[in-house]
Amino acid sequence: MDRKLIGLRFKSLRIKKGFDTQVELIEDFKNVTGIELKKSAISMYESGQRLPEHELLLSLADYYEVTTDYMYGRSDVEINVVKNTMKNLALLIDKLSEEDRKNALKYLEFLNLGEKV
């Protein structure tokens, strides 16, 4: 487990959420989840010196809308990116005729096979 990477993920998630400081994160996290974080704990998470307990990790992942695997560097895919892509695809597919849906599926299968070659 690469603690430096984990620390960078924690920090980048805070910044992506729009918080320049850890104090801003702490205040918003408490407002949203009801869970109070300490600045020293956030500092240790962001430096990779310490990892959050399991329950807190789950709350942080929900708050940031990412998977715990992403937070721990086991995946490079943020879940919100996948969710947004799937939502957009569903909206587009819903507007297609039945024949166009079949063609779209064939095209996606073609693209998927292209990756494996």
Per the structure, the complete domain to which residue 42 belongs is given by 3-76
The answer to whether the predicted template modeling score (pTM) of the entire model surpasses 0.75 is no
Q: Taking 50 as the threshold, does the pLDDT of residue 117 lie above it? A: no
64 and 10 in one domain? Answer: yes
CATH assignment at residue 49:
1.10.260.40
Res 85 pLDDT > 90: no
54-71: average pLDDT:
93
- Per-residue model confidence (pLDDT) at position 51: 94
The domain tally of the chain equals 2
The number of beta carbons lying within 10 Å of the beta carbon of residue 58 is 13
Give Cα separations from 72 to 1, 30, 109 (angstroms).
8, 22, 31
Query: Do 68 and 16 belong together in one domain?
Result: yes
User: Do residue 55 and residue 43 come from a single domain?
Assistant: yes
Q: Which residue's structure tokens are 């990779």?
A: 48
Say whether both 72 and 44 belong to one domain: yes
* Tens-place pLDDT, residues 12-56: 999 999 999 999 999 999 999 999 999 999 999 999 999 999 999
